[in-house]
Amino acid sequence: MMESRAAEGGPASRAVQRQETLITAKDVAVRFPMPSHFLQRHKPVLHALRGVDMAIEKGEAFCVVGESGCGKTTLGRVIMGLLEPSTGQISYDGTRIDDMGEAERRPYRRKMQMIFQNPYASLNPRMTVRQTLAESLRYLGEGMTAKQVDAKIEETMLSVGASVDWGTRMPHEFSGGQRQRISIARALITDPEFIVADEPISALDVSIQAQVLNLLTKAREERGLTYFFITHDLSVVEHFGDRVAVMYLGEVVELATVAQIFDAPQHPYTRLLLSAIPRIGGNAFKAERAPGEIPTAIDPPKGCAFASRCPLVHDRCRVENPALRPTPTGTLAACHAID
Amino acid sequence: MTPRAFAARFFRDPVAVCAALVLLSLIVMAVLAPFLAPQNPYDPMQIDIMDSELPPVWIDGGEERFLFGTDTQGRGILSTVMYGMGVSLLIGLGAVAVQAFLGITFGLLAGYYGGWIDSFLMRLADIQLSLSTLMVAIIALAIFQAALGPGAYADLALYMLILVIGIAEWPQYARTVRANVQVEKKKEYVDAARLTGMPSARIMLRHILPNTLTPLLVISTIQVANAIVSEAALSFLGLGMPVNRPSLGSLIRSGFENVFSGQWWITAIPAVVLVVLILAINLLGDWLRDTLNPKLYKGR
Amino acid sequence: MALLDITDLEVSFGPHQALRGVSFSLDRGERLGIVGESGAGKSMAAFAIINLISDPGRISGGSVTFDGQRLDTMDTEALRTIRGNRIAMIFQDPMMTLNPVLTIGEQMTETLLAHRSMSMAEARRIAVEKLDLVAVPSPAARIDNYPHELSGGLRQRVVIAISLLCDPEIIIADEPTTALDVTIQAEIMALLMRLCDESDMGLVLITHDLAVVSESCQRLAVMYAGKIIEQGATDAILTAPRHPYTRGLIGALPQMNSRGGLLKQIRGSMPGIDDLPTGCAFHPRCDFAVDACRASVPPLEVHGAQAVACIRVGEIE
């Protein structure tokens, strides 16, 4: 493929550049009309995503953090094509994929997989583990013989630390951590390049979280995976991530490397988030805080969404929504107070 | 719930066990009627007009040959009831099969796609539900009977009843399926299925439908009972099964004229059997509901 | 004697024990964190304190003594004067406490009038005062809101205000911030800590999060499979854990590990109460297990600054 591009001459340099970036989200917005009375003049609209731009590099663990309702899961679902963006585009390796038909999209489905948050809902309760894994290959493992399918299932199960005799068992026979392993096996079985992991450890106990996070780390090392890792837990980001986007009310408010975020957070919301994480021997609970009201995503405020909680707020923040722009430290942040 | 736990709970509940035993013996009697019944009441060679209107054995004048007495034609009530129950069960199960097919199809489509398909099908269901089953059936069957003439109608009555009762009651299934599909389709395993790019039909049939079957099983038992009762009512009104292939309802009707002349058993015996049959099915249905899903229906 | 004293408390479900002899005590104004993974029995311990174990479970041994009175054997009528009055409880889901069809004011005055004899106006005045105490903005207006009109964080503040109505001596908080976002969690925990300090209230904090306990409680008890396996001063345990499970739990936290590498992990998972291993319940997952660990259940014994239930504690440092 590279050769054919190079043969075309002009676009070659661009093609090389593109190879670095795996996923691009361009001005992605998702809006849901809310149920309303048909005589109601003003139809309320829920703005789940309000114009998100980001580029995920090949091989990195790109994390998205934010509190409930910030749109991080919606973004993951839009990238995976489970949800159509209202406006904006998603590209994979330079090809726009969000408007593709199912047949056209299939090769990309194989390369992109997802791990879900709730291990108790992510496996079909009426299917054995083997059936669940075979179901993925049935559509995404084109041209595989029954024997190859069996071998692939066995190989994948062993690689996630599942024993082969799990295959004939039903999901209810497994613990949360074991189910999450099966979920990971289902994602890995098509040999993807890119995985969206939506809070994959937040429903698990601490000792099991470590097991699953290690499994994801190993899979990344062995397979050169690119992760889009959605979480609310910054301490996981610190351990696992390369770059991180902090989201608030449907927008990215800061985008930086993990080291930059922890060493010199720029956006006041990032600072608030960091100061609130409990740590062994920390003092997140020492100073009392006023109740922080997150504005609703239904018809959100005109200015900066964080203005209602921001210690640095001034008049401009309430009328003009700041754009994501470079800060002096080299990261991107959306705040009028940074210059 | 594993099959073993299910069986264990079943055998611990005397009501469920009794209901199942009664139902099972009634079904066996109905299915094996040609072999078990003392006579074939619809074979002219086997009936004798001289035996007519004999009372049950425990009443003076009763004969050993006819446990529950005979009707005006000299047919043994036991035999007619056994044959009639088969017809009733056939119509009940057939009608439920029609209901289930229509209801599951429409419910799946409405729940999975939502939007205007959902609105259209559910409004249709509302309209259907606002008309009583019996009213729809009476009108439809009366029209058929008039259009086809009594002779041709008699041949088709069985299928007509199955279709009419089936079509009149599909919204029960459709609503339950739709509600369950709406719950299931939000679960992540459905997202995982969608991510493989498989066709929507397969997602609905292979992934969502099996997870909505438990409540359907519960409804089905109750709907079989309802369909049998509807059929009995229609037959009683003279719109159901013809006299040469009577159901329990037709038997009750044909004996009803004799109640005032003292032969109460001709109508009472099939009526009691009908009540026992319906009661057994409903008790079993209640037990299933409580066992499989304690939350189902409790809110009403 | 401590304000609250729990000795060898056992809770059974049929033949299975969910709590297998739990002992701890709490003084006035003291904050104790009970940490464990799901199934460790930490919530069971909280419910057992106020004798709220529902069928088929029952308290099958041991004692709960509060201010000299035995709660485990007390009748329901007498318990009512203690629960919600002298010992208050906060749950993970605020909607477990809040009635969705009553306004906050109605619920608060109802609680007050049930425990104290006072006029309606007086009850309402106290309710507003308590809402103000938990920093609910404009409490005089908020008091007429229904629970669904409030955000999750405010709801939990209201629940805390309700628990404070009768000026309790102890608050038992079962995962009070687990359902909340991290910034809201910090608000609620800071609030709870101030309230405890101001009125010398005791707090039993049930949580799965060691870091939350580290930041809020003076003492810590770690539970595993229905038993406390390590107990002592929070700082002592967190800086020098001695039980292999506590060590594993702390070691598995991402913040305790170097960036990018693998986390230290504990293999396997916690057994259910119906398939407990013999001896020490942790031995199948323990790197230091020897035959003696499989033979008998290790007692909780004092080793230096903390009490540890491990027979090898001296050897494995």
The predicted-structure confidence for C52-89, as pLDDT tens digits, reads as follows 888 788 899 999 999 999 998 888 888 888 988 899 99
> What's the rounded mean pLDDT across residues C293-307?
90
CA gap C128, C65 in Å, rounded: 33
Closest to C66 measured CA to CA, from C201, C169, C176, C195: C169
In CATH, the number for domain C4-217 is 3.40.50.300
Note the pLDDT tens digit of each residue in B112-140: 998 889 999 999 999 988 888 888 888 88
Answer for the pair C10, C21: CB distance below 8 angstroms, yes or no: yes
Closest to A209 measured CA to CA, from A185, A175, A243: A175
Enumerate residue ranges in chain B where pLDDT < 50: 294-300
Describe the strand order of the beta sheet including C301-303 as a list of residue ranges.
C87-90, C170-174, C202-207, C31-35, C219-224, C227-233, C306-308, C301-303
How near does any CA of chain A get to the CA of B190, in Å?
8
Whether residues C186 and A275 touch (CB distance < 8 A) is answered with yes
* Residue A82 in contact with partner chain B when CB distance is under 8 A: yes
Q: What is the pLDDT of residue A78?
A: 95
Q: What is the pLDDT of residue C137?
A: 84
Note the pLDDT tens digit of each residue in A196-213: 999 999 888 888 899 999
Which chain C residues are closer than 8 Å to A239 by Cβ? 254-255, 257, 259-260, 263
Whether residues C183 and A276 touch (CB distance < 8 A) is answered with yes
Whether residues C254 and A288 touch (CB distance < 8 A) is answered with no
Distance of CA C294 to the CA centre of its chain: 30
Which chain C residues are closer than 8 Å to A246 by Cβ? none
Residue extents of the structural domains in chain C = 4-217, 224-308
CA gap A335, A189 in Å, rounded: 42
End-to-end alpha-carbon separation of chain B, Å?
Answer: 25
Residue whose tokens read 């299928």:
B159
Best A102, A108, A124, A142 member to test B by mutation, with max B CBs in 10 Å, is A124
Pairing of strands C87-90, C306-308: unpaired
SS3 annotation, B114-128? CHHHHHHHHHHHHHH
Note the pLDDT tens digit of each residue in C110-151: 988 888 889 999 999 999 999 988 888 888 888 999 998 888
Answer for the pair C204, C24: CB distance below 8 angstroms, yes or no: no
Q: Taking the model in full, what pTM does it have?
A: 0.84
Report angle CA C3, C4, C5 to the nearest 5 degrees.
120
CA gap C101, C107 in Å, rounded: 10
Note the pLDDT tens digit of each residue in A9-37: 333 333 334 448 999 999 999 998 887 77
CA gap B259, B282 in Å, rounded: 28
Which chain A residues are closer than 8 Å to B217 by Cβ? none
Q: How large is the ipTM?
A: 0.85
Which chain A residues are closer than 8 Å to C209 by Cβ? 278
Whether residues C187 and A291 touch (CB distance < 8 A) is answered with yes
Q: Each residue of A229-255: b (16+ CB within 10 Å) or e?
A: bbbbbbbbbbbbbbbbbbbbbbbbbbb
DSSP-H helix ranges across chain C: 42-49, 76-80, 104-115, 120-133, 139-142, 152-164, 182-199, 210-216, 234-239, 244-251, 291-295
Answer for the pair A227, A59: CB distance below 8 angstroms, yes or no: no
- Partner residue opposite A140 with nearest CB, options B188, B196, B210: B196
DSSP SS3 for C99 = coil
Note the pLDDT tens digit of each residue in B70-123: 777 777 778 888 888 888 889 999 999 999 999 999 999 999 998 889 999 999
DSSP SS3 for C14 = coil
Note the pLDDT tens digit of each residue in A40-63: 777 788 999 999 999 999 999 999
Q: What is the pLDDT of residue B1?
A: 63
pLDDT of A7 over the 50 cut = no
Whether residues A294 and C235 touch (CB distance < 8 A) is answered with no
* Residue A291 in contact with partner chain C when CB distance is under 8 A: yes
Q: What is the pLDDT of residue A12?
A: 37
Closest to A306 measured CA to CA, from A286, A292, A287: A292
* Residue A29 in contact with partner chain B when CB distance is under 8 A: no
Chains A and B touch (3+ CB pairs under 8 A): yes
- Positive or negative, the CA dihedral C121, C125, C130, C132 is positive
* pLDDT interval class at C39 (50, 70, 90): confident
Whether residues A139 and B198 touch (CB distance < 8 A) is answered with yes
Note the pLDDT tens digit of each residue in C241-262: 999 999 999 988 887 777 777 8
Closest to C25 measured CA to CA, from C10, C9, C47, C41: C9
Which chain C residues are closer than 8 Å to A290 by Cβ? 135, 137, 187
- Chain B residues whose C-beta sits inside 8 Å of any chain A C-beta: 187-189, 191-198, 207, 210-211
C205 beta partners = C33, C173
pLDDT above 70 covers a percentage of chain A that reads 94
Whether residues A207 and C266 touch (CB distance < 8 A) is answered with yes
Single-letter residue type at C105: G
Describe the strand order of the beta sheet including A21-33 as a list of residue ranges.
A45-57, A21-33, A87-92, A95-96
Whether residues A285 and C189 touch (CB distance < 8 A) is answered with yes
Which chain C residues are closer than 8 Å to A234 by Cβ? 182
